[in-house]
Amino acid sequence: MELDIPGILERCSEPGGAYLPLRRRGLDALVQREWQSRGHDPMETAKRLDDSSAHIFKNRKKIRAGLVDDVFVKRYNYRGLWTAFRRSFKLPRPMRVLAGAIRLKEYEIPTPEVFAAIRTVRWGLPHHDYLITARTSPMQFYCDKLAKEFALGDPYRQFVSGVVSLMVKMHGAGVEHGDLSLRNIFCRKSPAGIYSDWGVIDLDGCKVYTEDLPESRRRRELARVISSFLRCVREEAPDIKPDVTAIIFDFARKYQELSGCNLAGSNLDARVEYLAGRVRKDQTPSPKKKKSQES
C-alpha cells in the first residue's frame, strides 16, 4: 500500500492552501493560516509549554504535553546525537499527525484541529518537534473513563455500535490510527444517556494510505480496541466479569455488518488475548516501587 502523507502535506501547503510553510534557519513548520491570522505566533506558543502557567498533563523524558492558554501543545524531545540522527531520516511526528487530522476532517471524523506542526533544528539535526492543536471540549468524554458504564446493557450496545462505526469510517478513509485504545477515543454523552460524535486523539502513530485498509490492518486495530476495553473494565469495574468470547463476537459481527469485512476467527482471538494480557510500559512499577509494594 502506498502512503498518502507526503501528498496530503504538499496539497495543504500549496499557495492559497490552509497551511502556510515556515522555513528559516533552525525551523521547519506548517502553520494554519487562519490561526496565524488571528495573531498567534507558533514558536512563542510552543516555548510557553515550559512556563509555570502551563497546565502539564505529561512530562516524560521524550514527551512533554499540556495546555497553554486555550491550545494543547506537545513537545517531542530528541536527546542524544544518535536519536537525533535517526529522526532526521523520518517524517516529523507533528507532520504525520497533521496529515492524519486533515484526512479525518475530510471524512467528518472528529479529531482536534491542528494549528501548527513544527520541527526545530540545532547543528543540522532535529532538536525538538512541536504539535499545537485545539483542546478537546469539556463535553467530550474519553472512553476509558466510561468503561464501567459501557460494560453492561444499553450503554454497551451503543459503545460497540459507535466505536465500530468510527473504525469502519476511519479505515475506509485509509487511516490506520496505530494506537486505538479507549484512552484515545472520545464521545459526547447527552443527559438522556445517548452517546454520539465518536472521535479520536493522539495520531502520533497514524498512517494514511491512498486506499482503504486491508483486512489484516483492520483486524489489528479491532483487536486493540477490544483488548483495551477488557483492560479498562478490569481496572474500573473489577466486580464485572465480561464474557470475552461474546464481546469479540459482538465487535466482529458489527464490523462485518457495517463494512462487509469478516474479521472474526482465531487470528482475532489470539491477538485480543495477547494484547489484553500485556502490561503497558508506563504501568509497570519501578523496581523501587515494586519492592515497596512487596514489603
Q: Give domain limits for the chain.
A: 4-134, 140-277
pLDDT digit string (tens) for 217-247? Answer: 999 999 999 999 999 999 999 999 999 999 9
pLDDT digit string (tens) for 100-116? Answer: 999 999 999 999 999 99
The cell for 179 is 494506537
Nearest to 204 by CA among 14, 5, 28, 69: 5
pLDDT digit string (tens) for 65-76? Answer: 999 989 999 999
Report yes or no on whether pTM surpasses 0.75.
yes
Element (H, E) at 55: strand 55-59
Strand pairing report for 71-77 and 63-68: antiparallel
- Is it the case that residue 124 has pLDDT exceeding 90? no
pLDDT digit string (tens) for 147-172? Answer: 999 999 999 999 999 999 999 999 99
- Quote the pLDDT of residue 279: 56
Q: How far is 53 from 40, CA to CA, in rounded Å? A: 18
Q: How far is 29 from 20, CA to CA, in rounded Å? A: 8
- CATH code of the domain occupying 140-277: 1.10.510.10
Angle at 99 between CA 69 and CA 219, to 5 degrees: 110
Q: Where does 80-127 have alpha helices with state H?
A: 81-87, 93-106
